[in-house]
Amino acid sequence: MSDDPAGFRPKRFPVPEFPPRKTALFARTPPVIFTALVGVMAIQLVARQLLVQADLPLAAADAAAGILLALWLFCIFALIVRIGRRATVIADDLRVLASRNGLFSATISGMIAGQMIAPYAPRASLVLVVLAMVAHLIMALVFFTLVWRNRRGTAPHSWAWPDPGMQLIYAGPLVAVPTLIGLGWTGLAAALSVICLVPASLCLLAGAIGLLRQQNPAPLRPMLLLHLAPVALASIVALSFGYEMAAAILGLVALLLLFGMVAAVSWLTRAGFTPIWGSVIWPVALVAEALAKGGALGTSAAVLIPISAFALVVCWRIFRLWPKGKLADMTNVQAS
């Protein structure tokens, strides 16, 4: 038997703590919770709009708004506490696909929360929408800075196919366009629409090319529905500017794309349930919203009812994993 090399010493490890140190409260808040929450909040907005247009009582929609806003405030508080302990966790999360989608869903949820409180507090609604939009743009700047710094190494992307999650970055600010138009800031709304729709369209084209080349890992296929978001939002934006024909065409395209996704549901869900499923809710709710704003109330309700049932199931499964820490483990969330 050969002798050990001269001067060899085994590596020393610290003595294990006993009792084990407990993780601080909210230190591992998983941002992926917002991918489902933003979709449910969008469903509430569409449901309320349908009730208004059908001249039906709004009590149930308003009660749902109160519950969702309370849940949203709790989730935002938990995320802020985590980031407040160590701000660099933002960079850690932006390198992980599910957490990155969650962070941008969180800022979009702020814009939607502002719209939810608009009937009761218009000024607070405006402040919340603007703050959320600024936070979204800052987060996008941080992300693209990380991409630029890692352009010669390993970029923050965890997979190489066209990323539908980028639609959350590009199309997300379009949620604020109707609010800006309502305030008379038409020029800003038009500029924001162009800035967002151009890269969102290119991302959609890249996604179509990736689909033809079969660059679609099974666990991530449900995210393909995020490509519905810019089409539906473009329809809503066109209608907000008064282009009814363009809005109708875009709404029909979004609906046809949704039918295609539904026809391929077995292919999209082949890998089984993952937290990625939360990303499905928001774009489908946007299609329902585009149809409702275009006057197709029956079709909008036909889309909204099944996605509402789906959203309740997915939210229950995702939020049930949060308190036990399993959701943080599944999405590789680092403690702050």
Rounded distance, CA 230 to CA 173, Å?
Answer: 10
Per-residue pLDDT of the chain (336 residues; tens, 9 = 90+): 455 556 556 666 666 665 666 777 788 899 999 999 999 999 999 999 999 998 889 999 999 999 999 999 999 999 999 999 888 899 999 988 999 999 999 999 999 999 999 888 888 998 999 999 999 999 999 999 988 887 655 444 444 456 899 999 999 999 999 888 888 888 989 999 999 999 999 999 988 888 887 777 888 899 999 999 999 999 999 999 999 999 999 999 999 999 999 999 999 999 889 999 999 999 999 999 999 999 899 999 999 999 999 999 999 999 999 987 899 888 888 877
Tokens of 303: 């889309």
Residue extents of the structural domains in the chain: 33-323
Rounded distance, CA 6 to CA 165, Å?
Answer: 54
Classify 33-323 by CATH class: mainly alpha
DSSP assignment letter at 18: S
Classify each residue of 105-133 as buried b or exposed e, where b means 16 or more C-beta atoms within 10 Å of its C-beta: bbbbbbbbbbbbbbeeeeeebbebbbebb
Q: Which residues contact 273 (CB under 8 A, 6 or more apart)?
A: 317
